[in-house]
Structure 1
Amino acid sequence: MIRRFSTLYVGHIELDHCGLSGTPADERRYPNRRLTEVFDTAVALAHATDALGYETLWLAEHHFQHEGYECIPNIPLLAVDLAHRTERVKIGCAFNIVPTWNPLRLAEDSATADILTGGRVVFGVGRGYHSREVETFGNPMLDGEANRELFEEQVEIILKAFREESFSHRGKHYTLPPEVPYRGYRLKSITLVPRPLHRPVEVWQPIVSGSARSLDFMARHGIKGVISATAESVVQRWLQDYQAAAGRHGRALRLGEDVILGFRMCIDETQEQAIRRARPYFEEHAKFMAPLGMLRYSEEHVSAVAARQAQSPTGATLDNGVRNRSWLCGPPADIVAYLKELEARYPGLEHVMIAWALGTPRELML
């Protein structure tokens, strides 16, 4: 039964001239004063989600975006601030871009945030999809295999640090601890200080292409999945594949269990009115994300994601997104009815996340 609701804010500022006919994405450049507006918006959303009973406000980590689309560089740091301004809402990391971090620094910062917030920070990991981000931090993004290999080793280190009193690691990219003398003895293991107090640490990862390798990695390490703004037919296949992967690693899950299902959404009195209101922001979102190959509104999109290919911003329409249920547009009663359908179809599904397209004004989000 669906009983948990959350929302996602990826950190966009209020953009002018949204839509395919508006300002080209690569021509947007905002001054620092405008880019810092994301923190005020995050505070407003934290207060709203806290008051409305949402379980989690998810935030996204990104870097160097003078275009104003995704402007939060450090989720654990912001999460500590938001938790101290609110009463109960959790702050989720959707996602910490692990290849931009030293894995032990990410583990330390996340453990500290866990302690300072009383367990209200939800840990999430991602590989990244912006070459400007990951490559600038000195790690591979354009070489997809190298990126995945590094990410998997980094996550394994983080999980060891969280789960074990002391640990060592010998891998392709990291030797931990280094084989050096320390205070008269040779290091054999290290301890993360502090470790999270709230254990076991719940870990989430996006399901982006649904590859067998990624699902097996998640299942092997007990990582939960997030499927967001994805065509209905693809969702069903990925939920089945995730369930099967978990089963191969000894976890018997109901279909939909341990997965968050996310949607872009716009509510209005009729579906037509909702589509009309959402269209410029849908187009702005596609305009920015399609060249990165990150739309999943159709089977063709998913094939492009898996192949790491750019997509056309005009190859997706909001009407098709509504038809394939990657977008929910319409009156509340219609959306509730569809969620009831999902409950019947996926008996293990408990958690639904809603999100806004890039550029959606704060007044519409609230």
Structure 2
Amino acid sequence: MITRFSTLYVGHIELERCGLSGTPADDRRYSNERLTEAFDTTIALAHAADMLGYETLWLAEHHFQHEGYECIPNIPLLAVDLAHRTERVKIGCAFNVVPTWHPLRLAEDYATADILTRGRVVFGVGRGYHTREVESFGNPMLDGEANRELFEEQIEIILKAFRQESFSHQGKHYTIPPEVPYRGYPLKEITLVPRPVHQPVEIWQPIVSGSARGLDFMARHGIKGIVSATAEELVQRWFRDYQETARRNGRELALGEDLIFGFRMCIDETIDRAMQKARPYFEEHAKVMAPLGMLRYGEEHVKAVVARQAQSATAATLENGVRNRAWLCGPPGDIIAYLKEIEQRYPGLDHVMIGWAIGTPRDVMIEQLTRFAREVMPAFRR
């Protein structure tokens, strides 16, 4: 039963000449003053989400994007500021790019934010998908297997640090603590100071390719999943696979439980008007993400995600996104009707997340947040 609503903002600034015929992605370069606009937009969205009754504002961590697309490098730090500007809305990490961190620094930063915000930061982890980011921090991205191996070890360290009063770790990439003397005694274990006070820590991870290894890792560690802007047939498969993998690991879940269903949307009086409004931003998003192999509007896209191959921006059309229900465009009644279908299909699902394409202006995002809250969310109030 759907009762919880969140929204996602990835940190783009106001962009000029959006769309396939607009400025090429690699030709965009903005001043530092312009790039900091992302923080003003985040504050505005946090205020709107808080006022309108959204549970969580999810934010994305990214680095080095002078193009103005994803400009938030540290979510826990920003979350502390946002929590002190708002009353109720939570700030979600979608996602901390773990291979750009030392795992203990990320654990410390999250624990500090958990305490200072009184539990209003939601922890989320991802492996990353920008080579410029992860490789610039000295860790693997081009080698997908090495990236996954590092990520899994980092998560194991973070979980130990969160859950155990003191711990040690011996792995391929980390020896914690190091074998050194400390004040006259051999160092055997360390303690994360501080540890999160809101326990157990809820952890979310994106489901991007639906791989058996990735789902098994999530199930073994109790990690919840977000499936966002993904073709309907893939959502159905991955929801079932997540449930079955959890069952094999000793957790009985209703279909859709411990998952978030995310989609991009545009509300207007007709489908045509909604698509016309969304089209330039859809195209800008495709222009950015297709070369990174990060579109999921069909089976062929997911094959490219798995293989880390570039996709064609022109092959990803808004019509295809709407047809496959990765995008919902149209009047509020149509969106309500589809979410009611989703509610029936996945009886364990209680949480949906709305979002927009990179490049969508701030005033459009707030207008859409407001319309969804006032014209869609009331249909799900029990």
- TM-score, normalised to structure 1, is 1.00
Deviation at 1:315, TM superposition (A): 1.0
**Cα deviation, residue 306, structure 1:** 1.1
Q: What is the alpha-carbon distance in structure 1 between the residues aligned to residue 330 and residue 163 of structure 2? A: 44
User: Amino acid of the residue matched to residue 275 of structure 1?
Assistant: M
Following TM superposition, by how much is the alpha carbon of 1:307 offset from its aligned partner in structure 2, in angstroms?
1.2
Q: Which amino acid aligns with 1:294?
A: M
Per-residue CA deviations over 1:122-165 (Å, capped at 9, x if unaligned) read: 00000000000000000000000000000000010001000111
Find out whether 1:76 has 2:76 as its counterpart: yes
State the number of aligned residues: 366
Note the residue ranges of structure 1 that are not aligned, 5 or more in a row. none
1:303 deviates by: 1.1
C-alpha separation in 2, matches of 1:145 and 1:186 = 35
AA partner of residue 197 (structure 1)? V
- State the secondary structure of the residue aligned to 1:277: helix
- C-alpha distance in 1 between matches for 2:248 and 2:135: 35
The one-letter code matched in structure 2 to 1:333 is G
Q: Secondary structure at the match of 1:47?
A: helix
Q: What amino acid sits opposite 1:303 in the alignment?
A: K
- What amino acid is aligned across from residue 249 of structure 1 in structure 2? N
1:109 aligns with 2:85: no
Q: Which runs of 5+ in 2 are unaligned?
A: 367-382
Partner of 1:11: 11
Alpha-carbon shift at residue 317 of structure 1 (Å): 0.5
3-state SS in 1 of match to 2:243 = helix
Question: By how many angstroms is 1:308 displaced?
Answer: 1.1
For the residues of structure 2 that align with 1:250 and 1:298, how far apart are their CA atoms?
31
Q: TM-score, normalised by structure 2?
A: 0.96
Partner of 1:157: 157
Q: How does 1:129-148 map to 2 (within 5 A)?
A: 129-148=129-148
CA distance in 2, matches of 1:141, 1:354: 28
Question: Partner amino acid for 1:319?
Answer: E
Give percent identity, aligned residues only.
Answer: 82
| Secondary structure in 2 matching 1:21 | coil
Task: Provide the residue aligned with 1:44 in structure 2.
Answer: 44
Alignment of 1:65-214 (within 5 A): 65-214=65-214
| SS of 1:314 mapped into structure 2 | coil
Could you say what the CA RMSD is over the residues aligned between the two structures, in angstroms? 0.4
In 1, distance between residues paired with 2:202 and 2:21?
A: 42
Per-residue deviation, residues 104-125 of structure 1 (Å, max 9, x unmatched): 0000000000000000000000
* Cα distance in 1, alignment partners of residues 332 and 148 from structure 2: 40
CA distance in 2, matches of 1:128, 1:197: 28
Structure-to-structure mapping, 1:336-347, within 5 angstroms? 336-347=336-347
Q: What do residues 259-312 of structure 1 show as CA deviations (whole Å, max 9, x unaligned)?
A: 001001101000110001000000000000000000001111011111111100
Letter aligned with residue 249 of structure 2: H
